[in-house]
Amino acid sequence: MKITSSSDSRLPLYQRLSDEWLAKIASGEWQPGQAIPTEAELTQQYGVAVGTVRKAIDCLVNEGLLERSQGRGTFVRRPQFDASFFRFFRQLPSTGEQGIPESHILSNRVETPSATVRHALELEEHEEVVHLKRLRTIRNGHRFYEEIWLPAKAFYRLAELQPDEFDQLLYPFYEAQCGQIIASAQETLSISTAQEEVAERLQLAEGTPTVLVERVARGYNRKPLEYRIAQGPTQGFRYQIDIN
């Protein structure tokens, strides 16, 4: 089999292979949770040595896209990092009662994006977005008010649903409903104050300081798929990061 992706032939073989396979994952030809062909098969298909196949796989494993399991095979990893939002609360106050994590969609509409949103999602002038509003209650009772914008082109289905048809976790839901997979994200934390709708939804006095978490989430191809602003009370807020 030839390498079909438009990769620069000056690049090393293993790099071209791993690009090729990245494309297969991005396109859904290799589905999350499923096994990819065995090393032997890939060796044959592409007419390269095992070592080269292994090195190409190594790259994708390092990037967190594949997962090896000795004796079973190599699998496309399902990025499960909605959980990463919860680095907020790694250390929970050890109250016995934990409260129930909840997520309520307040509204879901197609809109013309503001300049900020259009810029964050790298959209063209005329493109529209699906705009979600959502109220989340995290384990320890902390409440977050979120606004989420998604390119309507790929996510129009979400505007056709009833708010109560949404799942708690959005990223798997995106995948199920729209075939879009979130692979990475960038978050920016800052401090703001509660105004109008935010204040009301969070039951805070206007002007109360809040934590503001901005997130741009991207697909395998690094194109932005979601822009999100979450706002919540500062009290008890914790955000933990490992630096290496």
Partner DNA sequence: GAGTGGTCTAGACCACTAG
Partner DNA sequence: TAGTGGTCTAGACCACTCG
Q: Which residue ranges make up the site for a second copy (CB under 8 A)? A: 62-64, 81, 84, 183-191, 209, 211, 234-235, 237-244
Smallest distance from DNA to CB 7, Å? 11
Q: Which of 27, 34, 51, 223 binds DNA (CB under 7 A)?
A: 51
Within 10 Å of residue 65's Cβ, how many Cβ atoms? 21
Residue 190 binding partner per list DNA, a second copy, none, with a CB distance cut-off of 5 to 8 Å that depends on partner kind = a second copy
Interaction between residue 63 and DNA (CB under 7 A): no
Whichever of 62 and 203 has its CB closer to a second copy, that residue is 62
Smallest distance from a second copy to CB 109, Å? 28
Residue with tokens 């509204």: 107
Smallest distance from DNA to CB 8, Å? 12
Residue 108, SS3?
strand
Q: State phi, psi for 3 to the nearest 5 degrees.
A: -80, 120
Whichever of 72 and 90 has its CB closer to DNA, that residue is 72
Q: How far apart are the first and last CA of the chain?
A: 40
Q: By CB under 7 A, which span of 10-18, 138-146, 215-223, 231-239 interacts with DNA?
A: 10-18
Whichever of 92 and 191 has its CB closer to a second copy, that residue is 191
Q: Which long-range contacts (CB under 8 A, 24 or more apart) does 109-117 make?
A: 109/159, 110/152, 110/156, 110/159, 113/149, 117/149, 117/227
CA-to-CA separations, 146 to 10, 43, 124, 137, 152, in angstroms, rounded: 45, 47, 24, 11, 18
Q: Which of 73, 172, 219, 236 binds DNA (CB under 7 A)?
A: 73
Instruction: Round to whole Å and give the CA distance between 244 and 242.
Output: 7
| Interacting residues with DNA (CB under 7 A) | 12-15, 35-36, 38-41, 47-52, 54-55, 68-74
